[in-house]
Amino acid sequence: MELKGKVALITGAASGIGESTALLFAGEGARLFLTDIDTEKGEELTRKIEQKGGEVVFFKADTSKSEDSERSVAETLKRFGKLDIAINNAGIGGSQHPVGEYPVADWDKVIAVNLSGVFYGMRYQIPAMLNNGNGSIINVASILGSVGFANSAAYVAAKHGVVGLSKSAALEYSAKGIRVNSVGPAFIKTPLLKDLDKDLLSQLVNVHPIGRLGEPQEVAELLLWLASDRATFVTGSYYPIDGGYLAQ
């Protein structure tokens, strides 16, 4: 029970990496405050965790709205009295276009969710953690937080921003007891890939030296370690979890 007594807020918790992380953290004793825009899946996950004896609250929130992030933290404190761990995971893929043709509205939406949403989360999570004197924030970036990818400029730019934002926050708050790190998953079997055709999925498998896509549970294990007291000297770091993608 590595997280027994800890309170964790997880955004984008209704599916994919967020769902796997919620289930893993619940099994390790964390009390959970889960947010997502998908109420149906969020409540279904909540029931699943409760059936296993976990303590959990689901709250509908859109991370691209600063007021939703503020309310999420306020409700976490109201329900559990503190905040120990924050996993800023919510994200979208965005449309595929070259930079010179990228729709401005699509750019704005991807940046709002994938980058501004992480900032909004930390903006309110950090003050709550300062009241504790400690905390761990893990921001889910991507391998595309360190390399480019054609026709995905908005996503790549946002994820690069998440890595830099995490490092800056770590420099500001690590001496005050709050660790901030980011992780860089490669292509993971999540709903973000559900609309890709079989040929493209096959190509994505082939660009991973390990020979397969990642599983959400594998990313959740890394998040657990970073959230736990096993990682108390780890801050300001970016951890790829990519099947060898970035080694090429």
Catalytic residue among 155, 173, 239, 245: 155
What the block records as the tokens of 113 is 């969710």
| Separation between Cα atoms, residue 65 and residue 86, nearest integer Å | 17
CA angle 161, 60, 166 (to 5 degrees): 20
Query: What b/e string do you get for 92-121 counting C-beta neighbours within 10 Å, with b at 16 or more?
Result: bbbbeeeeeebeeebbebbbbbbbbbbbbb
Helices 16-27 and 39-51 sit at what angle, rounded to 10 degrees? 20
Which amino acid does the sequence have at 163?
Answer: V
238 has catalytic annotation: no
What the block records as the tokens of 172 is 């500001």
Q: What is the CA radius of gyration of the chain?
A: 17
Task: Determine the 3-state secondary structure of 127 from DSSP.
Answer: helix
Residues with catalytic function: 155
